[in-house]
Amino acid sequence: MDENRGERRAFTHVRALMTHTGEGFIALTPEGDVRLMNEVAEEIFGCARGEFLGKAIESLGPAEIAKTARSVIAVGDCSQPQSVSLVLNGRDLLCTLAPYHDENACGVVITIRDQSELARSRKRAEAILQSTADGLIVYSSAGKITFVNNTAALMLAIAVDDLLGSSKDLWSICGLEPLDTFDPRRGGSQVREVTLEEPVHRVVDVRTDPVIDDHGMYLGFVATLHDVTAEREIGQMKNEFVSTVSHELRTPLTSIKGYVDLILDEEAGEINEIQREFLSIVKENSDRLVELINDLLDISRIESGRIHLKVQPLQVAERIKGAVDTFRAVLEQNGRSITVEVPNDLPRAAGDPDRVGQVLINFISNAIKYSPEGGNVWVRSESDDNFVRISVTDEGIGIAEEDMAQLFTKFYRVDSKLTREIGGTGLGLSIVKSIIELLGGQVGCESEPGKGSTFWFTLPRASADLVRTPTISGPGGVGGTVLVVDQNPEVADLVETYLFKRGYDVIKAHSAEEAFDLAIAESPAVITMDVMLEDGKGFGLLQKLTETPMTSRIPVVVLSIICDEGRSERMGASGYLEKPIDKDKLASIIDDVVGSVASPVVMVVDDDKRINDLLCANLKSLGYAVIAAYDGREAMVAVHSKKPSMILLDIQMPVMDGYQVIEQLKTDPATADIPVVIMTAHRFDDSRAALLDLAAARICKPIDEHELVARIQEVVTQKESQ
């Protein structure tokens, strides 16, 4: 009696469970008749339970269920549960059919789960993923592609079906080399840029993020393909715009500045005090404009990656001295001091000397500018095992905590009455940060409002490799800048190391275009290049370099695996070296070429030291070797010892004037054929016409830079072709 009660109670529990579960249940006898059915199943099949109890499963309707149930019964007790998916009355059903042991035979329990909601939410999610503008590819933890949206398929020009279910490597389908180091499980996004050409040109950022569940289990990863073509194009257009406008502005400014300087120097006659004062204002403001333009050009170079840094071992103390000297007079005039504290044993840092100087000048000029009440300035340096740290401290207005975070961003200026009065562009510190970070260092600032600020930067210490050792192996290199052109960065680095040790400064380019731009901008002493450039433009570049007047003087040494010495030389190469490169041969070829193609020597004769310096600097930057003489007699002495290729001669000079110099030069057979370009700020004296006619060209002061360059180049090429 008790046993029956127990069974009844157990049955009541089972019934309660079956009623309240969210799933449908049907139990079949070994004959395939319905023995039990719960309310959920009743509702799913849309009928009253009583109708089916005791009837064969076939009477329930869906043939797939009946068929599978019969096969489970036929296989018997040991068969595996089977699944059947079907759509019934608009619902997605998943039925699991599991055998159970009923005395000597085998029955079946059918569990029916309504998956409509799950399917709907999946469809919703897929619709959302399909509608995003980004391409999406989802990988499972086993590395299979489980979802691809149409955007991704379109971007990659691959059919969705070719990707779904496959284990294709993400980078390969993006047309990139597979990455050994790629670990999709790694937290944080990993981004690579890919340029796709089919079906249209696109630049795409491919970013991967792992998918981790609440328990920290890795479920796979998602790759997002973000089209950045427009951004890149706009960025490039902006940079080109800034660069063109700045260059265009620079030309008229050079004239404004140059002429104002000449007027201030009374080259065009005496000026009175008021005129001097007004012109000084014009000068000051044109200087500010030049600075702004230079800053804008720097920013556009940095942003477009066109900034070329010549990293070499630096004596930090020298750089600091150079920068400090520029300001010492200004500070001391106001009774302020600038103190330099650099330990004698400070190790050398690795950096670009000009750029490091620029950073120092920026910090020091800010320290002065933002200390309107006066106060001293300190420049200090120290080092640890890896870095050299340089800091500039002032006793100025200081910076509030809330402004610190943005201090090094473009155009950011602390907004206060004082800074507004002081004026500035907010570009300096952002340029400083980019330069220092490109050099592998860091920048920072500590400050207290009203007390002063310390701006600092670090540079990596120069490694033993970086230290130039030109005298260790045989005679040292001739020196100068070498442009190394090789599409393979490692090879370019290698050539750089060889040449660097030999005492050369090296700049590198990896494509024909980059190389040509650099050759124009930097006028290197020699170019080494592999004609096998990726864009197939190696020989084209060689030809362009030899045909372009500004680069035709630069000797090119071809370093190549392809044995085409004849073609290279026919196309104007000065030397040829087969790869793999023998470093000694390389050094001797470069030394020979640089040594033999000494730049044309131009002698500048002008008693005005300022104009003489300016001309010399301009000519040097154009790749000429320069000799300066400050009067006619000095010039005549130097002409015999230095044999210049041409002479730039001022007419009005003390001791011995330009007319006398021409006369002597032209009557001496040793110097008669040296071309002379004469300059004067006044009218040429027509009574000396015969002498003037002996000159190759005439230039009127104030000198227009372009005219000067054109004249000199004409004269030098004319002379070379004789």
Q: Supply the minimum distance, in Å, between the C-beta of residue 373 and ligand ADP.
A: 12
The candidate with the shortest Cα–Cα distance to 60, out of 27, 85, 91, is 27
Residue type, 634: E
Q: How far is the CB of 307 from ligand ADP (least distance, A)?
A: 17
Instruction: Considering only the stretches 46-54, 71-79, 361-369, 492-500, report the one whose residues sit in contact with ligand ADP under the rule CB under 6 A.
Output: 361-369
Residue 338: beta bridge partners?
Answer: 377
721 residue type, one letter = S
The first and second tokens of residue 277, run together, are 């004062």
Rounded least distance, CB 372 to ligand ADP, Å: 10
List strand residue ranges (DSSP E) for 248-367, in order: 312-314, 338-341, 349-351
Q: Tokens at residue 360, please?
A: 């120092």
Q: 581 — phi, psi (to 5°)? A: -80, 130
Q: Give the phi and the psi of residue 369 in degrees, each rounded to 5.
A: -60, -40
Nearer to ligand ADP, 304 or 425 (CB): 425
Residue 395 binds to ligand ADP (criterion: CB under 6 A): no
- Contact between 399 and ligand ADP by CB under 6 A: the answer reads yes
- Applying CB under 6 A, which of residues 347, 353, 424, 444 lies at the interface with ligand ADP? 424
Q: Considering the rule CB under 6 A, would residue 428 count as an interface residue with ligand ADP? A: yes
Distance CA 170, CA 221 (A): 11
Looking at the DSSP bridge assignments, the partners of residue 676 are: 647
CB of 370 to ligand ADP, least distance (A): 3
In our burial notation (b when 16+ CB lie closer than 10 A, e otherwise), range 180-194 reads eeeebeeeeebebeb
The interface region with ligand ADP, picked from 67-75, 259-267, 407-415, 647-655 by CB under 6 A, is: 407-415
Number of shown-chain residues binding ligand ADP (CB under 6 A): 21
For residues 406 and 314, give the distance between their C-alpha atoms in angstroms, rounded to a whole number.
Answer: 30
Part of the chain binding ligand ADP (CB under 6 A), chosen from 25-33, 306-314, 394-402, 647-655:
394-402
What the block records as the tokens of 125 is 């999610």
The Cα-based distances of 707 to 129, 583, 704 in angstroms read 63, 42, 5
The first and second tokens of residue 537, run together, are 């433009």
Segment near ligand ADP (CB under 6 A); pick from 267-275, 424-432, 537-545, 555-563: 424-432
In angstroms, what is the minimal distance from the CB of 380 to ligand ADP? 15
Q: Decide: is 426 part of the binding site for ligand ADP (CB under 6 A).
A: yes
Can you tell me which of 298, 352, 394, 650 binds ligand ADP, judged by CB under 6 A?
394
Subset of residues 451 to 490 that bind ligand ADP, contact rule: CB under 6 A: 453
CB of 649 to ligand ADP, least distance (A): 42
60: contact with ligand ADP by CB under 6 A: no
Piece of the chain touching ligand ADP by CB under 6 A; list 299-307, 417-425, 524-532, 639-647: 417-425
Main-chain phi, psi angles of 333, to 5 degrees: -60, -35
List all residues 6 or more positions away from 137 whose beta carbon is below 8 Å from its beta carbon.
Answer: 145, 147, 148, 149, 152, 163, 170, 173, 222, 223, 225
Shorter beta-carbon distance to ligand ADP: residue 427 or 577: 427
Min CB(487)–ligand ADP separation in Å? 37
The correct pick among 146, 376, 419, 488 for binding ligand ADP (CB under 6 A) is: 419
Q: Which span (99-107, 178-186, 364-372, 574-582) binds ligand ADP, by CB under 6 A?
A: 364-372
Per-residue contact track with ligand ADP, 435 to 454, x per CB under 6 A? ------------------x-
Provide the 3-class DSSP secondary structure of residue 646: strand
What is the end-to-end Cα distance of the chain in Å, rounded? 132
For 318, residues 6+ apart whose C-beta sits below 8 A from its C-beta are: none
**Are 662 and 694 in contact, with CB atoms under 8 Å apart?**
yes
Run of H or E residues at 209:
strand 202-212
- The single-letter DSSP state of residue 704 is P
170 vs 338 by CB, closer to ligand ADP = 338
The 546-585 contact track toward ligand ADP, x by CB under 6 A, reads: ----------------------------------------
Residue among 371 and 481 whose Cβ is closer to ligand ADP: 371
Please state the length of the chain: 722
Q: Which residue has the tokens 């990455």?
A: 179
The residue with its CB nearest to ligand ADP is 424
Q: Is 608 helix (H, G, I), strand (E, B) or coil?
A: coil
Taking CB under 6 A as the binding criterion, the range among 21-29, 350-358, 391-399, 675-683 that sits at the site for ligand ADP is 391-399
Choices 180-188, 195-203, 397-405, 572-580; region in contact with ligand ADP by CB under 6 A: 397-405
Pair of tokens at residue 434: 């980019």
Q: With CB under 6 A as the contact rule, which of the stretches 229-237, 240-248, 366-374, 602-610 interacts with ligand ADP?
A: 366-374
Contacts of 37 (CB under 8 A, 6+ apart): 25, 26, 27, 49, 52, 53
- Name which of 45 and 408 has its Cβ closer to ligand ADP: 408
Closest-CA residue to 160 (of 133, 193, 138, 192): 138
Residue 376 in the binding site for ligand ADP (CB under 6 A): no
Q: Which of 25, 221, 370, 539 binds ligand ADP (CB under 6 A)?
A: 370
Of 43-51, 422-430, 476-484, 566-574: span binding ligand ADP (CB under 6 A): 422-430
Tell me the pairing of strands 697-700 and 676-680: parallel
Q: How far is the CB of 379 from ligand ADP (least distance, A)?
A: 12
The answer to whether the beta carbons of residues 612 and 628 sit under 8 Å apart is yes
Token readout for 66 is 């009946």
666, 675, 685 from 651: Cα distances, Å: 15, 15, 10
Taking CB under 6 A as the criterion, the residue among 40, 263, 361, 367 binding ligand ADP is 367
Query: Is residue 413 a contact residue for ligand ADP (CB under 6 A)?
Result: yes
Binding test (CB under 6 A) with ligand ADP, winner from 151, 366, 381, 645: 366
Selected binder of ligand ADP within 414, 533, 603, 677 (CB under 6 A): 414
Site stretch for ligand ADP (CB under 6 A), options 84-92, 182-190, 363-371, 531-539: 363-371
- By C-alpha distance, which of 674, 685, 682 is closest to 699? 682
Query: Do residues 80 and 67 touch, judged by C-beta distance below 8 A?
Result: no
- Smallest gap from Cβ 326 to ligand ADP, in A, equals 16
Other beta carbons within 10 Å of 565: 15
Q: In the stretch 643-682, what mask flags binding to ligand ADP with x, by CB under 6 A?
A: ----------------------------------------
Q: How far is the CB of 383 from ligand ADP (least distance, A)?
A: 23
CA distance 313 to 463: 8
CA distance 254 to 680: 19
Closer of 413 and 688 to ligand ADP (Cβ): 413
d(CA 126, CA 138): 11
Using CB under 6 A, which of 79, 229, 406, 425 touches ligand ADP? 425
Which of 168/410 has CB closer to ligand ADP?
Answer: 410
Q: Which of residues 588-617 bind ligand ADP (CB under 6 A)?
A: none
For residue 346, what is the DSSP state? P
Minimum CB separation from ligand ADP for residue 328, in Å?
A: 18
Q: Which of 97, 407, 459, 699 is the binder for ligand ADP (CB under 6 A)?
A: 407
Token output for 90: 């608009």
Residues that bind ligand ADP (CB under 6 A): 362, 366-367, 370, 394, 396-399, 407, 412-414, 419, 424-429, 453
